[in-house]
Structure 1
C-alpha cells in the first residue's frame, strides 16, 4: 500500500483535480447499469481554482502528486461536497475514506452543521459508500435549494432521477 498524505488543496492543484476526476469518471463510463446514460463532463481546472480558493477542498498526495481530492464549498451553515475522486490506480487504499474523514473534521472545526452531497443511490462507490460513512438519504429539501438545483441539473443532463439522491451527514 502506498503512503499518502492529506492536505488543504492549493490553487495550483486545480489542473490535477480535473485530471483525477476525468480518470475516475471512467468507472462510471464502464458501469454496466449506466449503459446509455451520459457521464457529466469533468469540472474544469478554472472552476476548481474558484472552489479551492474558498478554502474547504482537500488533496490526497503521494510524493507530491495529487491522486485524490474532495472539492467542497460552504452553503450557509453546511458544507456541500461537489466531488470526491481518487485516481483509479490508487483506489482501494482508503484514500477516499480518509478524505471524507478529514472533510468532516474540517467542517466541524469550521463550525458547520452538516455535509451534503448528491450522488447515485445504488452505485457501490456512491450512495452505499457514503452510507457506510454516516451519510443518510434525505427527502426534505427545505432550506437546501442547492440540493434541489443539483438534482434538477443532473436530470436535465440525462441522469435518471430515480437513481439519484441527496445525502447528508450531520456533524456532532
Structure 2
C-alpha cells in the first residue's frame, strides 16, 4: 500500500476526529477499557488550532483518504506525542510505524533531546509498540513534573492509573564535528 506522509494542512482537520474515533474502537477488545471507544474525541476546531500551532503529520492514501495521524508538540527540547491514531480499517499495515518514524526523524533533524508520551503499559498497540522503537518506560523518579501532571490529568478523566505510564526515547545529539583534528576532543 502506498502511503504519503506529510504535514497536516487546515483542510485535514475535519477528517481527524473520524480517524481518532475509528482508532478508538480497538479499545473494545479490552472489556475494562471498552468505554473509551465511545468517549469524546478531539473536535475538528481543536485539530485545526493544533495544525496551526503544533506538529501534526498525516498518512494519506493516493486517492486522498487520510488513514492516520500523529499529533505532537515541542516541550523542553523534546517532542511530546499527544496522539497517534490509525483508522481501524488501516491498522496493522505499518502506518503507525511510519508516522512514528517521521516524528523521530523530525526530532533528530532538529537536534531535540528526545520524544515523550504517555500510554497504556499493557496494551500491545501502546507501550510494547513504542518499546520496539527504543522508547523506555520511565520510573516515577525518572518522570518529569510535566509528564506526571499529564498522567494525573488522565487519571482524573477516568483512565486507570495503574495501567498508565510515561515513556521517553532519548536521542543522542549529533557531534558538531564528527572528524576532530588531532588533540581535539569530540
Q: TM-score, normalised by structure 1?
A: 0.91
Runs of 4+ in 1 over 4 A off after TM superposition: 35-40
Which stretch has the larger CA shift, 145-154 or 113-122?
145-154
Which stretch has the larger CA shift, 103-112 or 92-101?
103-112
Q: 3-state DSSP class of the match of 2:15?
A: helix
State the match for 2:180 in structure 1: none
Q: CA RMSD in A?
A: 1.8
State the match for 1:11 in structure 2: 10
Shift of 1:32: 2.8
Q: 3-state DSSP class of the match of 2:150?
A: helix
Distance 1:79 1:118, change over 3 A: same
Gaps of 5+ in 1: none
State the match for 1:103 in structure 2: 103
State the match for 2:24 in structure 1: 25
* Structure 2: distance between partners of 1:66 and 1:10: 12
State the match for 2:71 in structure 1: 71
- Between the two proteins, the alignment pairs up a number of residues equal to 170
* Structure 2: distance between partners of 1:161 and 1:55: 27
Distance 1:32 1:79, change over 3 A: same
After TM superposition, list the pairs within 5 Å mapping 1:74-93 onto structure 2.
74-93=74-93
Distance 1:29 1:105, change over 3 A: same
The one-character-per-residue Cα deviations of 1:83-120 (angstroms, maximum 9, x if unpaired) are: 00000111111000010001101111122111110000
* Structure 2: distance between partners of 1:17 and 1:38: 15
* Structure 1: distance between partners of 2:23 and 2:159: 18
Which stretch has the larger CA shift, 98-107 or 4-13?
4-13
Which stretch has the larger CA shift, 43-52 or 111-120?
43-52
Which stretch has the larger CA shift, 133-142 or 155-164?
133-142
Q: TM-score, normalised by structure 2?
A: 0.84
State the match for 2:131 in structure 1: 131
Distance 1:61 1:80, change over 3 A: same
Shift of 1:146: 2.8
* Structure 1: distance between partners of 2:72 and 2:35: 29
